[in-house]
Structure 1
Amino acid sequence: MAISVCDFLGIEKHKFDSTGAFDAILDVDSKMFIDPHLLSACEVPEFQNSYEKVRQRFTDILKILRHSKEKGDVFWRRAEIYFKFPEVKGLCIGYSNRGTSGSAIGPGLRERLLETAKSIIDSGIEEPEIFELVGLFESNIGPDRLSDITANIISDAILNYTQRIFSEMGVETSEQIIEGENYKLVMNPHNKSAILLLPKTILRDLPLAFSWSDIDIVCSHNEELRHRVNQLIGDTWKQAVSQQKQFLKELILKEPGLLEDLITLYKVKPQTTYDYINDPAGQVIWYYASKETVQKYPLELKKENVETPEDLMDFVITVCDKYKDLIENNGLNSLLYDGVKPKKEEAAQKLFFGIADAYCAANNIDISREVNGGRGPVDFKFSKGYKNRVVVESKLTTNGQLLHGFTVQIAEYQKAEKTLHGIYLVLDNGGPIKRITDLKDLILNCQREGLRMPIVIFIDAMPKLSASRYEPKEIN
């Protein structure tokens, strides 16, 4: 069952929040990231020199690379040693969908990054911020890897901070030897790694290095360059995919002034932290909302014990119907919006997981997230024993893959004969009417042809003008 750090440790929420630490979920990665740009303003004692430590590590790598004449020489090999960043376990943040491990830098990626850095150095730029911005133009480098690189460099600060918070909270700890040092920590029961805490003030849902809203400013010195970049990327660099990143990489190496502009602007970007109250990315509130909601609205079951596949299907339908009611009539739809703007689909999925997980725990049903067993991704799998299984896929009507997802499900149903039971949850958050109509037509056609298909449950998740609204009680 999903559980937060403070619930696992038995600490009152307001007391834990007073420490300023992020209350991570132990077996569900929150898509939050350490932003090196925020480290320089961090006032937490253990982290006050952390940004300088990050810059110094990157500066050392650049200095060594400057002396390298060719790949594989003594300076290159030394730079490789400096650029080893093993994955950091125990933070419970990042992109992992199963478990809570970090993202290590492998040999191939390390070599490519050093080659890029060497090319940039040879163009005359040696600012250490190169490595903070490299995700803009290097494939396979995203916020998770930048976050993990940073965590690796400042791991001593993270460990000392975690140890202090546990001590202040009076938590029962055990001695762990990490990097040759003794620390008094707590083990995560899900992955047997030490639980590591982070200050909320150094986390963002998207590091500032990946968030550029006005490319015109960056390219203001060169109208032709601005036009080329705008044509390719549009208004936001964070949406750049691998082909676009390759283009930007070539462009930056040809036009060093572009990278100099980026570095200059990056240095003066406002150091804004994440809004934990409104939770625009849907990464925080779902857990607390689920806890409160399930306590307030217990599940009424047709049958007390789940034994057969039919029992399990009835149970999952009841959970989905309860989720539908909570969204449509009890204010939980407000958690799917940032003001009037729909949040990403993951906000709805995590909210469903939180609700379903709590109901499952009370009824001895297992639920797992985003299982991929060779038949494509499934958002959730409910199971009781080895044979009783039901899969649930959740889609917003704003998702362009709404019809495709259902079509894939239908194909799987025909292959699986009667062994597959599933539900397709459709949350209408303002997607095109034609998309919804096309889905309903597809459902009717399948029914006419007698095809087996998942049960489809439509949920009206549109904002209500005068409806109740979920107000978080425990978030600070």
Structure 2
Amino acid sequence: MNTYFCDFFNVREQALEEYGAFNISLVADLPLFIDPFLLFNSKKNEYKQLHKEIIRYLIFLKDKSSKGIVTEGLLRAWYTFKEVEQNWLGFSEVGNKGSGLGMKFAKSLDNNLVSLFGKFGEENITEESHLEKLCLIGSGVGRDNISDFTTNLIKAFLLRYTQEFALKHIDKNLLGQFNVSKSRFNYDFEVWEGEIYTLPKFKNSYVILTPKDLLTRDDTFINSNDMYSKIELLVESIDNIALRGQINNYLLQELKKGMKKKERQEVYQRLVQQLPEIIDYYIREKEREKEMASNISNEKVSFCNELLVNNYKIFVEMMATQTPFYDVRQDSFEEALERVMYLKRVIEDMDGYKIFYIDGQPIKREHDFQILYKLTWFSSDSDMNAEVNNGRGPVDFKASQGKKDQTLIEFKLASNSKLKQNLAKQLDVYNKANGGTAKTIKVILYFTDSELARVNKILHDLKIDENNAIVLIDGRKDNKESASNVK
């Protein structure tokens, strides 16, 4: 089975490593994304210039927004972007298609640049302006938007970067010429223009490589959770006495003894909305800590490379040698359950559990568990979608063969604090949202004896311990019997 870029294009992994690009999967997006702070903080002049170009474009948008001349047509032309799905990075477990930056994002950005960030590009507290500033208030522009926006604004660089590697290392029969739209902005005519590139061909499109030193996981270095967690300490570093006095007065009135964490955060959010200058002081502190950004990013990317590339190869090789899915017509439930049971067998009886361990410690992330399941869905006639939302919240996967044949599959770790609540209610809610026609499968992965005991107690309490659509998978590394000894 071809899974990674090097597999599909017959490239030596060492060549890609030396070039500095991440060996992406062409089966499912990997949970990495570009952090614009890494551009700002880089010692490479080319990266620093990319950061300046991002800020230049935002200042262009701010100037247009402040003049009140942005029509719906210009919103679509200047503020909306499709997701750059060809880089195979992001947050989609199935395939590589995300939502992109549509009109909701465009209108929020247009409004924020006038109402909240009217001085964007004119800051005198921070070293430079920062794109991430736009997602620190919770006003319609989030982390995913920042990632997509950054990728679109440096797309020409990524295309040139990929083209250079492709021309040197990939057989010309595996390459094609592509006219890539919105790859360069012409400030003279104020229009996005396309450009022709020679790139690796994949299906009906192309592939984009991304340098590892631009990537991170989980969150950008500048992010709202970090800001709100430090806000009271941040106040003490503000040298503007009047602003500091306003903040302290507000917190004194609004913060109550015994407040829960969520309630305190809501107070902080209202504070920042009223006094957005606070954001500049937070960003100044992050600039002072900038040496940490690259170190943290390198650790996260190395971790992802070990888990999502090196360890997953074990799983892929197992599937390549054994294909238990026969050309027999099955409904979506039978097929989905069979693939769950295959995943269970690989993890429990074929040493597949090893992929969940780095330096002897289990990796407890439901997202990684879900990507593994995606890898089992080869040679299938069923329609397979991830993060399906039918009005009651997202479910991990939905397999279907038409409206009357749907199966919902949910993956949970035994350590999940809301496991009992989830088992009792969640899939029933999803089922109702699908018109009551969907069947459900719940898959639970455990790593310790105590986790297994907890799950068994929950199943017993809910009287569902005999339900064959609830599958437990043993991820323990200790006391494993070899497959030959299992009776």
Deviation at 1:420, TM superposition (A): 4.1
Aligned to 1:450: none
Aligned to 1:425: 443
Q: Higher mean Cα deviation, 116-125 or 177-186?
A: 116-125
In structure 1, give the amino acid aligned to 2:207: I
* 8 A Cα contact 2:108 2:139, kept in partner: no
* 8 A Cα contact 2:3 2:26, kept in partner: yes
**Residue 185, structure 1, aligned to residue 199, structure 2:** yes
Aligned to 1:7: 7
In structure 2, give the amino acid aligned to 1:108: K
* 8 A Cα contact 1:138 1:245, kept in partner: no
**Residue 246, structure 1, aligned to residue 269, structure 2:** yes
**Residue 204, structure 1, aligned to residue 224, structure 2:** no
- The 3-state SS of whatever aligns with 1:427 is strand
Deviation at 1:176, TM superposition (A): 1.9
Aligned to 1:94: 90
* 8 A Cα contact 1:64 1:76, kept in partner: no
Sequence identity of aligned pairs in percent?
Answer: 20
Separation in 1, partners of 2:136, 2:432: 43
Deviation at 1:281, TM superposition (A): 9.9
**Residue 107, structure 1, aligned to residue 126, structure 2:** no
Aligned to 2:241: none
Deviation at 1:425, TM superposition (A): 0.8
Deviation at 1:203, TM superposition (A): 0.8
Q: Higher mean Cα deviation, 134-143 or 378-387?
A: 378-387
Separation in 2, partners of 1:375, 1:456: 21
Separation in 1, partners of 2:22, 2:117: 33
Superposed, which structure 2 residues align to 1:60-459 within 5 Å? 61-62=58-59, 71-73=66-68, 84=79, 86-89=81-84, 90-96=86-92, 99-101=96-98, 103-104=100-101, 106-114=105-113, 115-118=115-118, 125=125, 127-171=127-171, 172-178=174-180, 179-189=193-203, 192-205=204-217, 206-210=219-223, 212=226, 215=230, 218-221=234-237, 243=266, 246-247=269-270, 249-250=272-273, 252-253=275-276, 255=278, 258-259=281-282, 261-272=284-295, 273-275=297-299, 276-279=301-304, 283-285=308-310, 287-296=312-321, 298-300=322-324, 304-309=326-331, 313=333, 315-337=335-357, 339=359, 340=361, 342-354=363-375, 356-357=376-377, 360-361=378-379, 367-373=384-390, 377-382=394-399, 390-406=407-423, 407-410=425-428, 420-429=438-447, 436=455, 439-444=458-463, 455-459=469-473
Deviation at 1:50, TM superposition (A): 3.1
Q: Unmatched 5+ residue regions in structure 2?
A: 181-192, 239-243, 483-487
- The 3-state SS of whatever aligns with 2:303 is coil
In structure 1, give the amino acid aligned to 2:237: H
* 8 A Cα contact 2:125 2:280, kept in partner: no
Number of aligned positions between the proteins: 440
* 8 A Cα contact 1:80 1:110, kept in partner: no
- The 3-state SS of whatever aligns with 2:90 is coil
* 8 A Cα contact 1:31 1:95, kept in partner: yes
In structure 1, give the amino acid aligned to 2:30: S
* 8 A Cα contact 1:403 1:435, kept in partner: no
Superposed, which structure 2 residues align to 1:463-474 within 5 Å? 463-464=477-478
What's the CA shift string for 1:96-123, capped at 9, x where partnerless? Answer: 4564346326331222330322166788
Deviation at 1:183, TM superposition (A): 1.2
* 8 A Cα contact 2:354 2:477, kept in partner: yes
Separation in 1, partners of 2:273, 2:393: 35
Separation in 2, partners of 1:132, 1:418: 42
**Residue 33, structure 1, aligned to residue 49, structure 2:** no
Separation in 2, partners of 1:217, 1:438: 43
TM-score (norm 2): 0.71
Deviation at 1:199, TM superposition (A): 1.1
Separation in 2, partners of 1:331, 1:240: 45
* Alpha-carbon distance change, 390 to 219 in structure 1, aligned in 2, over 3 angstroms: same
- The 3-state SS of whatever aligns with 1:271 is helix
Deviation at 1:64, TM superposition (A): 8.7
Aligned to 1:472: none
* Alpha-carbon distance change, 35 to 248 in structure 1, aligned in 2, over 3 angstroms: farther
Aligned to 1:49: 46
What's the CA shift string for 1:340-390, capped at 9, x where partnerless? Answer: 364321011112222x22xx42x7666443344557544234456886654
What's the CA shift string for 1:17-38, capped at 9, x where partnerless? Answer: 4432222233522221112222
* 8 A Cα contact 1:2 1:25, kept in partner: no
Q: Unmatched 5+ residue regions in structure 1?
A: 448-452, 469-476
How large is the Cα RMSD of the aligned pairs?
4.7
What's the CA shift string for 1:290-317, capped at 9, x where partnerless? Answer: 3122235x2557xx542244xx655544
Aligned to 1:474: none
Deviation at 1:204, TM superposition (A): 0.9
